[in-house]
Copies of this chain bind each other. A is one copy, B any other.
Amino acid sequence: MSTKRIGRQTVVLQNPPSIIGHACVVGKKEGEGPLSDSFDHINEDSYFGEATWEKAEVAMQKHALSLALNKASIPPSKVEYSFGGDLLNQCISSAYAMRDSNIPFFGLFGACSTMSESLILASMLIDGGFADISAAVTSSHFCSAERQFRFPLEYGGQRPPTSQWTVTGSGAVILSSSGTGPYITHLTPGKIVDAGIKDANNMGAAMAPAAYDTLKTHFDDTGFPPTYYDLIVTGDLGSVGHSIILDFFKSDGIDLSAIYQDCGLMIYSVDQDVHAGGSGCGCSAAVLTGHILNGMRSGRWKRVLFAATGALMSPTSTMQGESILGICHAVTISIEKGG
């Protein structure tokens, strides 16, 4: 019998895993932003020393995982299962990054929600008694994403104000059944929500309804008021999606403005001209595994609701007139094991 579910779709972990290592690697633009001090490594070369953008993204993911393992003081051979995914067709960044790892691997596709999706599953494997050490890794790269989803960089197309900038970044988290926290205590996996948005240049609006659905469900299922948290972050709703979330909750009589932020708004400054904000799997991953977890360790935040958001679509589905599907997975991270 499922003893750990509460409400509609939330899980309370009975043996909350501890985050024993985390690291992020980013590119030049991210390194010039407001969170520059929080990244473990900033690579000035967008190619990361490789011949192609895709191989660059592979190198970046490998480096993030390696750094996270170093910080956890464990070798790759101790990682029992790993979860990873990215934006590229057939998720090749993640597969080739894990090629030589010798770690049993679960490939995921959650688009930009992958950091949460992977943390949820990696946590469940520990709490369920299937592993003591698990890893969650994801990435995105501006250049590989642009080429695949839009145009080669040389095209020089104009970007509308609602568009977002794909972060060049990778984040890795190592979880353990033992440790001193921060801990993952509650999980709210999300449902697909279709708000009928077809504009691929307005992902924030497409994903916001899914984020609202998951966040609201999380609060309803747990009984936690939003103020249970010191910080609530979505992954990459950007300025458009962030304001939509505030509006949705305002309609419910809840003012989230003091505690709600979005990684896409945190990772770049306004004068970096990214329009609506950062996006990509690497956006939420790099902000979580640097700024947020560092902040929790230093005492800035005690409880964070981390809710990465994804747009499930492809250029093909868009060309066939489909709307853009949203999904949002939420994870409670707390410095206390009890939540």
A residues near B (Cβ < 8 Å) are 1-5, 9, 11, 14, 51-52, 54-55, 80-81, 85, 87-92, 95-96, 98-111, 117, 120-121, 124-132, 148, 177, 189-192, 194, 312-317, 320, 322, 325, 327
Copy total for this chain: 2
Contact of A129 among B3, B99, B191 (CB under 8 A): B3
A190→B4 contact, CB < 8 A: no
Min CB distance A158 to B, Å, is 24
A310 CB to closest chain B CB (Å) equals 8
A121 CB contacts on chain B under 8 angstroms: 106, 121
- Please give 11 more A-B residue pairs, beta carbons under 8 A apart, in addition to A85-B107, A92-B316, A124-B130: A2-B126, A2-B129, A54-B317, A87-B90, A89-B316, A95-B325, A96-B322, A101-B191, A103-B191, A125-B128, A128-B129
List of B residues within 8 angstroms of A110 by Cβ = 106-107
The reply to whether A105 and B52 contact each other, CB–CB distance below 8 Å, is no
Q: Across the interface, do A129 and B1 meet the contact criterion of CB distance under 8 Å?
A: yes
Tell whether, in the assembled complex, residue B325 and residue A102 are in contact, meaning their CB atoms are under 8 Å apart: no
Please give, as numbers and ranges, the residues of chain B lying within 8 Å of A129 by CB-CB distance.
1-4, 14, 128
Tell me if A192 and B95 are in contact (CB < 8 A).
yes
> What is the bound-complex CA distance between A141 and B278, given in angstroms?
35
Partner of A106, one of B51, B117, B130: B117
Chain B positions within 8 Å of A108 at CB level: 106-109
